[in-house]
Structure formats: C-alpha cells, structure tokens
Structure 1
Amino acid sequence: MEDIILVIVLLICLFTDIKSRKILNIVTLPTIVFGLVYNILTTGFEGFLYSGKGFLAGLGLLIIPYLLGGMGAGDVKLMTVIGVLMGSNFVFYSFIYTALIGGAIALILIIKKKGLINIIKSIFFNVVFFRSNLGSILLSKDKKSSISFPYGVAIFFGTLCTLVWGGF
C-alpha cells in the first residue's frame, strides 16, 4: 500500500516540479499525515516510531541544504514524505541514490553550459600552477551564470532506484 501511495505522490511532485518548479504542500502535507496515521493504525506504537524516525531522517537529510539556499522547502517535505511512508532506512538509501543522480544531472548541466574543453583547460591550469580555487571553475557566484534544476527529478529517480534495488 505504501509503495503505491509513494509512487503516486512522486509522480505528482515530479510533474509539478518540472512544470512550475514547485512541490505542492497540498500533496506533501496530507501524505505525511496519512503515512503517520496508516503506520499507527497498522502496527500501533511501533508504527509511530517507524514513521517518526523516518520523518526525522527525511527532514534531517535535506534541512541543511535548504537552510543554505541550495534547494526549496518542497524538496525537504518530499524527502520527509518518503521517510514517513517508508521508514528511516529507506529514506537514507533514497537520499544516497538521489544525491548521486542529482550530482550527475548537475555535472551534465555544468558541462553543457560551460563546455567540456573549457572546464578541462581550467582544471589543468589550476593543477599545473598549484591554484586552490578548483571549485570556482565549476560553480560561479554570478546569478546570471548559475545553474539550477528541479531537484524533485533527482528525488523521483533516486527513490525509484531504492524501490527497485533496495539498499546497498
């Protein structure tokens, strides 16, 4: 049951995040309540602990990137939904897959925007001349040249990977 609800919520959030760059509260907040109530009704206090730990894990994994401005609150709430429905172990593995997929998407977007040859030249120059600002090659502080993407896409695929393959 939780798997079906999770996939439906993920699909809705994927669609809204791509379309409007928003993960809607009307989807995430009722799902958090549903997951908590469902787990309490099916397994009692154990279900409360299961959902509670999942809630804290999902929230804890993305709250710092959110506070630093790296992602929106909807992404945090979606990861919290995953934790409440599926538990802390599942949300942890989902986070790992999501981070790997998100990193790959970001790298592809950076290469596409800045050009692979320019990035290789800059890295080579910095390594040869022992410069320590390699991070500034890839990530610019200039808003006009910054790169962003809807992180709900990475959360969607990361969670699907966890559903299909499980943990490591």
Structure 2
Amino acid sequence: MINVILFSALLISFITDVRERKIYNVITFPTMLIGLIFHTITGGWDGFLYSFLGLLVGIGLLFIPYLLGGMGAGDVKLLGAIGALKGTLFVFQAFIVISIVGGLIAIVILLSKKEFGFFFKKIMFTMKFRTLDGIEKEDMHHAFPYGVAIVIGTILYSGVGLV
C-alpha cells in the first residue's frame, strides 16, 4: 500500500511540476499524513518515529537549498513526504541518487544551451578567488523543475519496483 501511495504521489508531482512548475500541498501533505498514520498503526510508537524522522530528514535535506532560493517549497515537501512513507535511511539514500540525477539534468541543460564552458569557467574563477563577486544570480540559475529529479531519482533508487 505504501508503495502505491508513493508511486501515485510521485506520478502526480512529476506531471504538475513539468506542466505548471508546482508540486501541490494537496498531494504532499496527505502523503505525509498517510505515512505517519500507516506506520503508527503498524508499528506503534516506533512506527511513528520511523515515519516522523523520515519526514524530518527529507525536509532537512532540501531546506538550506530552499532558503538559498535554489528550489521551491514543493520540492522540499515532496522529499519530506517520501521520508514519511519510506523512512530515514530510504530518503537519505534516495537523496544521493536524486542529487546525481539533478546534476546530470543540469549538465544536459547547460550543454544543450552551449553554456557549459562559460558556466564552468565562472565556477573555476569563484573557486580560485573564493568570491562570488564575479557571478550574477542569473548566471547560476538555469532552472528546471527539480521535482523531476526527485521522482526519477526515487524511482531509480527503489529499483523501479518502489521497494
């Protein structure tokens, strides 16, 4: 049942993020609640902690990038919902795959816009002089709906079967 809920939330979030650049609360909050209730019923206090800590870790992993303007709140809540359903270890390990997928998508976007070299030079300049003065926010922002990376990375990590 948890896997069906997870896959449904991921599918809907993928579609809305691609079409509208939004991941809706009407998907993420009930998913979080289902995870908390399910694990509490099946595991008691330990089940609640399993789900609640997964929720906190999921939110915590993307909270700083959200505060820095790197992603939307829907992305943060979606990862929290994944954590509430699947627990701390799953959400943390899926996050590693999600980060790789997100990085690959970003590289493909930069290459397709023929801006990878320019972007790479700016990053090297920043690292050499340890200053962000030479980089404008527009230079760093080649936005794509990060929910796509979250969905693909989660599915890849779970072995497509959403174990």
TM-score, with structure 2 as normaliser: 0.86
Aligned pair in 2 of structure 1 residues 146, 45: CA closer, same or farther (>3 Å)?
Answer: closer
Counterpart residue number, 2:153:
158
In 2: Cα distance, 1:44 partner to 1:155 partner: 29
Counterpart residue number, 1:103:
103
In 2: Cα distance, 1:82 partner to 1:135 partner: 36
Counterpart residue number, 2:46:
46
Structure 1 residue ranges without an equivalent (≥5): none
Give the conservation status (yes or no) of the 8 Å contact 1:98–1:154: yes
Q: How big is the shift at 1:7?
A: 0.6
Q: How big is the shift at 1:132?
A: 2.3
Q: Secondary structure at the residue paired with 1:164?
A: coil
RMSD (Å), alpha carbons: 2.6
Q: Which structure would you say has the larger Rg?
A: 1
Aligned pair in 2 of structure 1 residues 60, 142: CA closer, same or farther (>3 Å)?
Answer: closer
1:141 aligns with 2:159: no
Q: Secondary structure at the residue paired with 1:149?
A: coil
In 2: Cα distance, 1:49 partner to 1:143 partner: 41
**Residue type at the aligned position of 1:18:** V
Q: How big is the shift at 1:135?
A: 9.6
In 2: Cα distance, 1:10 partner to 1:134 partner: 38
Structure 2 residue ranges without an equivalent (≥5): none
Q: Secondary structure at the residue paired with 2:71?
A: coil
The size of the alignment, in residue pairs, is 156
**Residue type at the aligned position of 2:29:** L
The within-5 A match list for 1:17-166 is: 17-115=17-115, 119=117, 123=121, 132=128, 141=136, 143=138, 146-164=141-159
1:58-95 superposed Cα distances (whole Å, 9 cap, x missing partner): 01100000000000000000000000000000000110
Q: Which moved more, 1:145-154 or 1:10-19?
A: 145-154
Give the conservation status (yes or no) of the 8 Å contact 1:140–1:146: no
1:119-154 superposed Cα distances (whole Å, 9 cap, x missing partner): 18x74xx79xxx926998xx9525388410000100
